[in-house]
Amino acid sequence: MTVGSVALISLLAFEALAVGTAMPTVARSLDGLALYGLAFGGPFATGVLAMVLSGIWCDTRGPAAPMWHGLLWFVAGLVVAGTASAMEVLVVGRVVQGFGSGLLSVALYVIVGQAYPEELHRRIFAAFAAAWVVPSLVGPALAGLVVEHLHWRWVFLAVPVVAVPAALLIRPGLRSIAVTAVTRVPAGAVARIGWACGAGVSAALLHIGGQQRGASAVALSAVAIAGLLVCAPRLLPPGSLRAARGLPTVIGLRGLASAAFVGAEVVIPLMLSRERGLSPTAAGLVLTVGALFWSAGSWIQGRRTAPASRASLPRAGLACLTAGIGTVALTLVPGTPVAVAVLGWAVAGLGMGLLYPSLSALTLELSAPGEQGRSSSSLQLCDSLGAATVLALTGAVLASGSAPAAGSFLVTLAISAALALCGVLLSNRVTPARA
């Protein structure tokens, strides 16, 4: 079960990262540059909807059915995209694939909660973190090799060959999970699905708007952010925006950490290239160091004994993230060695490794009986929407001038560091209030 689950997470990560490398070639091959943004925004939107559906489904019927349906949609979307003869068909495949990814990702979290003892949760989520790190290191390069030496279609068609056997490895372990009796759909579920549709469309518009220029970019981004502000809070536990104690704060910290890390990550290569003259390869290696230390941090937290306080690991992780981003910003000072940026991003990666698996384990621990699906979907939604929002904000800051300058880089890094510092200040609130 563990091997199969980690393999599926790796495949979801590979597709999320590798498609970006292959898509320029795909768009040229299918003469579909006009639909380029939709090929990314579409699956993001259906993924948001699927996360909410999967959470409701897991809580009413158990995680097995949404997992198998997620696999079916995921594989079907890959096959449609890989065999597409027109960009419109490829976009349909990507949309179907995104829906399957959303169903699968939430179901796998619930499977961890129901099939593994609580003392192993942090270790399993550490393995999930590593399953994302490895594709981030090799996925884009491997996709590039496939596109150059085979064909871009194999970036899509090769994955089902591994995904189906990986899912079959999970099947025997699913028998250890008691079959959930069919229960009444939770109150408000239909409304949540409606709000998920609104959030998904808003997220897609935000992604598409980020690829535009001028007034259209501003208009799309403004509409998208307004939509997210209306819809997203209704998909999170009550009190998430005011950091209510317990689960709402855990969910909120995941969004803050994701926004802080991604906001800095997208800026660092451009900053080091423009301000310090590094080649794209050398600047990218700094991100590789961060990914390696993320994996190391996950390994460390998974093998520690249970901390005395629930807040210990989140606080340490967010403190490392704040310090790491601040250290990277020092390279904007002339004469500062580039090694300082490497050190800073290593510390930030270590913090994410300490933080992410521990928040995932806390989410399951603090979920009420029968609500692990809803909590897992909220956790992943907050993660995705936080990253999407800060990417739009970062793009706006960098595009505010004729060319990104040191001031723009400093502003974006300061925003990321402030988000992480806010998480440090709120971390004590992961402990629920005493009854």
Mean pLDDT value across the chain: 84
Q: Is the confidence at residue 64, as pLDDT, over 60?
A: yes
- Please check whether residue 341 lies inside any domain of the structure: yes
Q: Cα dihedral sign for 289, 290, 291, 297?
A: positive
pLDDT of residue 184: 64
Instruction: List pLDDT tens digits, range 337-365.
Output: 989 999 999 999 999 999 989 999 899 88
Q: How many Å from the N-terminal Cα to the C-terminal Cα in the chain?
A: 37
pLDDT at 334: 85
Residue 2: pLDDT over 80 = yes
- Domain residues for the domain of 359 are 239-430
Please list, residue by residue across 41-66, b when 16 or more beta carbons sit within 10 angstroms of its beta carbon and e when fewer do.
bbbbbbbbbbbbbbbbbbbbbbbbbb
| 303 lies in some domain | yes
Bigger pLDDT: 243 vs 250: 250
Amino acid at 277: G
The answer to whether 47 touches 384, Cβ cutoff 8 Å, is: yes
- Other beta carbons within 10 angstroms of residue 27's beta carbon come to 18
Residue 300 lies in a domain: yes
Q: Which of the two residues, 56 and 406, has the higher pLDDT score? A: 56
* In the predicted structure, residue 135 carries a pLDDT above the cut 70: yes
Across the range 181-205, mean pLDDT stands at 78
Asked whether residue 183 is assigned to any structural domain, the reply reads no
Confidence grade of residue 214 (pLDDT, cut at 50, 70, 90): low
Radius of gyration of the chain (CA): 21
Residue 257 pLDDT level (bands cut at 50, 70, 90):
very high
The candidate with the shortest Cα–Cα distance to 66, out of 358, 376, 411, is 376
Number of structural domains found in the chain: 1
* Structural domain contains residue 352: yes
Q: CA-CA distance, 279 to 285, in Å (whole number)? A: 10
In terms of Cβ atoms closer than 10 Å to its own Cβ (0-12, 13-18, 19+), residue 207 is buried
Q: What angle do CA 144, 158, 140 make, to 5 degrees?
A: 25
Q: Which residue has the tokens 């700094």?
A: 286
Residue 291: which H helix or E strand, with range?
A: helix 280-303
For 400, list phi and psi in degrees, rounded to 5. Answer: -70, -20
pLDDT interval class at 216 (50, 70, 90): confident
Taking only the tens place, the pLDDT of each residue in 77-98 is 999 998 988 989 998 999 999 9
Does residue 95 lie within any of the structural domains? no
Looking at residue 179, its pLDDT comes to 59
Q: Is the pLDDT of residue 30 over 70?
A: yes
pTM: 0.83
The answer to whether 169 touches 4, Cβ cutoff 8 Å, is yes
Query: If you average pLDDT over residues 276-283, what whole number do you get?
Result: 75
Q: What are phi and psi of 32, to 5 degrees?
A: -130, 35
Contacts of 169 (CB under 8 A, 6+ apart): 1, 3, 4, 7
Domain-embedded: residue 326: yes
Look at residue 28 and tell me if it is in a domain.
no
Say which residues have a Cβ less than 8 Å from residue 179's Cβ, sequence separation at least 6: 62, 64
Report yes or no: 120 and 71 within 8 Å, Cβ to Cβ: no
Residue 199 has pLDDT above 90, yes or no: no
Instruction: Give CA–CA dist 430/237, Å, rounded.
Output: 13
In this predicted structure, the answer to whether residue 435 has a pLDDT above a threshold of 50 is no
Mean pLDDT confidence for 62-80: 92
Work out the average pLDDT over 389-394.
77
The region that residue 370 occupies, defined by phi over 0 for left and psi between -120 and 50 for alpha, beta otherwise, is: left
pLDDT computed for residue 187 by the predictor: 67
Q: Which of 115-124, 321-330, 373-382, 390-399 has the lowest mean pLDDT?
A: 390-399
Residue 373 reports pLDDT greater than 80: yes
Rounded CA-CA distance 62/167 in Å is: 16
pLDDT of residue 330: 92
Token reading at 408: 């723009």
Confidence grade of residue 367 (pLDDT, cut at 50, 70, 90): confident
Which tokens go with 148? 């150059």
Could you tell me the two tokens for 328?
């990277």
pLDDT of residue 311: 84
Per-residue pLDDT averaged across 405-417, rounded?
86
Residue 183: band (very low, low, confident or very high) from pLDDT cuts 50, 70, 90:
low
Higher-pLDDT residue of 416, 433: 416
Distances, alpha carbon 300 to alpha carbons 188, 305, 355, 371, in Å: 40, 10, 11, 29
Domain of residue 306, CATH code = 1.20.1250.20
Tokens of 4: 């199969």
What is residue 42's predicted lDDT score, i.e. its pLDDT? 80
In the predicted structure, residue 213 carries a pLDDT above the cut 70? no
Among 244, 248, 198, smallest CA distance to 385 is for: 198
